[in-house]
Amino acid sequence: MSDYFKPLPNITPHSKPFWDAAKEHRLLLPSCIHCGAVHMYFEPWCNACSGDGIEWKVLSGFGHIWANCRFHKVYFPGFQSVVPYNVAIVQLDEGPKMISNIVNLPNGTLNEMPIGMRVRTFFDHVTNDITLIKFESV
């Protein structure tokens, strides 16, 4: 898997539980210990209630497409062979929105990934250290 040339995330102490869980096929996000809001960022504070402190919550892995588009421009050399490719904002059932790709579509067109379509997590092991969270149709 050393021939992966697309950008990879920088794992920080705050995000490490998320990436470790992804390798184990679990979708884990921080949740506020005061109000229960689930966050798509990894800092230990809450933008819903301004409280400090999070706990990690295992999510269902289900959601729906909130927005979609096709990228035709090559912003990073590693994407040269895959343009055009789809990008979606998925709203998870627990609330947060996650930007990712919709995979396992026959042609990858927008018609195959309409807004509102139910999706579930797809774990893409791109390197020995990184498993990316993507989504597929339910």
State which residue, 37 or 110, has the beta carbon closest to Zn ion.
37
Closer to Zn ion at the Cβ: 34 or 57? 34
Q: Is 40 in the site for Zn ion (CB under 5 A)?
A: no
d(C-alpha 101, C-alpha 103), whole Å: 6
**Least gap, CB of 54 to Zn ion (angstroms):** 9
| Contact assessment for residue 131 and residue 125, using Cβ atoms and an 8 Å cutoff | yes
Q: Rounded to the nearest whole angstrom, what is the least distance from the CB of residue 96 to Zn ion in the complex?
A: 13
The number of beta carbons lying within 10 Å of the beta carbon of residue 29 is 22
Task: Indicate the DSSP class of residue 10.
Answer: P
Indicate the SS3 state at residue 18: helix
On the CB side of 62, CA atoms within 13 Å amount to: 5
- In the complex with Zn ion, the residue whose CB is nearer, 5 or 56, is 56
Residues 46-75 that bind Zn ion (CB under 5 A): 46, 48-49, 51
Given the complex with Zn ion, which of 49 and 138 has the nearer CB atom?
A: 49
Chain residues that interact with Zn ion, rule: CB under 5 A: 32, 34-35, 37, 46, 48-49, 51
